[in-house]
């Protein structure tokens, strides 16, 4: 209802421009019991059912920061909805309103979890399955220098290379798919990973198909050889590191700005003047807290 309070609801704007794509991104959606309730990523994740699948065995469910509902189920799915609506408009010539609910977005994003329930991926309690920390070959292990290695050797041929890199013989180990042996195998793998540093494990597994990679910190990620070769991370003029826009397009790749991020409201006045607002109108909008203006301060 925020836009309606400003007199800018979809009914008003679509009357002005029937081709307009009007996206409404909220946690619970435009209708339903919780439509007008406050919430955050963890609440949307909980209502979607996905949160119940996240976490370690015998522990409470665990929310992974606010990536899943806010950004993936919310921002990305809403952006995809806009793209779909724009494509549909090329045929109908009409705009429409997009009701993007973060609950539904993250639920739809997790369709794999729903569709694979009868395939053996998720038929055990939380934390005891193939992809949620139950399998010894899909796990994170601590190294001798307190860092970590990520292991994702699911396929038998990859698992064989993992076992070989760890200095073990698969003929002397339980079957890879023996659920009852997974806890002991995790202990065995953990004790071996703890004997070498992250760099030493990288020297063993780099160039193999064991699906073993270092868990990089934000401080290390830009200097890793693979990321450097692809220029996956960029520095702005303040020497701040951030990811380069992805995915890469072959003909029209994104050209990232190397300037610092703008402050909220830094260019509000400039843009409104450009669009024909007067100084007096801008001052009025600011005093009524419709807009926010924040000028950057000189660094002396």
Catalytic residue positions, numbered: 40, 70
CA distances, 52 to each of 34, 56, 120, 122, 132 (Å):
19, 11, 17, 12, 12
Longest dimension (CA), the chain: 81
Angle between helices 41-48 and 102-109 (to 10 degrees): 60
Angle between helices 102-109 and 77-92 (to 10 degrees): 90
Nearest to 47 by CA among 68, 78, 71: 68
Beta carbons of 126 and 120 less than 8 angstroms apart: no
Nearest to 47 by CA among 23, 63, 60: 63
Nearest to 266 by CA among 297, 295, 289: 295
Alpha helices (H) along 53-180: 77-92, 102-109, 111-115, 156-165
Per the document, the length of the chain is 300
């Amino acid at each position: 209802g925020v836009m309606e309070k400003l007199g800018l609801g979809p009914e008003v704007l679509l009357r002005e421009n029937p081709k307009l794509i009007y996206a409404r991104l909220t946690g619970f959606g435009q209708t339903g019991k919780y439509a007008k309730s406050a919430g955050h990523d963890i609440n949307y994740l909980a209502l979607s059912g996905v949160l119940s699948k996240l976490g370690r065995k015998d522990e409470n469910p665990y929310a992974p920061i606010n990536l899943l509902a806010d950004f993936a189920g919310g921002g990305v799915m809403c952006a995809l909805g806009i793209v779909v609506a724009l494509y549909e408009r090329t045929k109908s010539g009409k705009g429409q309103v997009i009701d993007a609910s973060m609950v539904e977005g993250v639920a739809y994003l997790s369709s794999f979890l729903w569709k694979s329930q009868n395939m053996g991926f998720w038929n055990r309690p939380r934390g005891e399955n193939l992809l949620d920390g139950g399998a010894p070959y899909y796990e994170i292990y601590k190294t001798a220098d307190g860092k970590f290695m990520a292991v994702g050797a699911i396929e038998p041929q990859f698992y064989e290379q993992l076992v070989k890199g760890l200095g073990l013989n698969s003929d002397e180990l339980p079957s890879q798919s023996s659920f009852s042996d997974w806890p002991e195998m995790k202990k065995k793998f953990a004790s071996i990973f703890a004997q070498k540093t992250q760099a030493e494990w990288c020297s063993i597994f780099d160039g193999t198909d064991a699906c073993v990679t270092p868990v990089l910190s934000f401080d290390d990620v830009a200097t890793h050889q693979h990321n450097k070769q692809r220029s996956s991370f960029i520095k702005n003029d303040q020497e701040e590191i951030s990811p380069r826009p992805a995915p890469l397009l072959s003909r029209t790749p994104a050209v990232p700005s190397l300037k610092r991020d703008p402050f909220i409201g830094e260019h509000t006045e400039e843009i409104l003047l450009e669009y024909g607002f007067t100084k007096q109108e801008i001052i009025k909008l600011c005093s009524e807290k419709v807009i926010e203006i924040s000028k950057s301060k000189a660094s002396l």
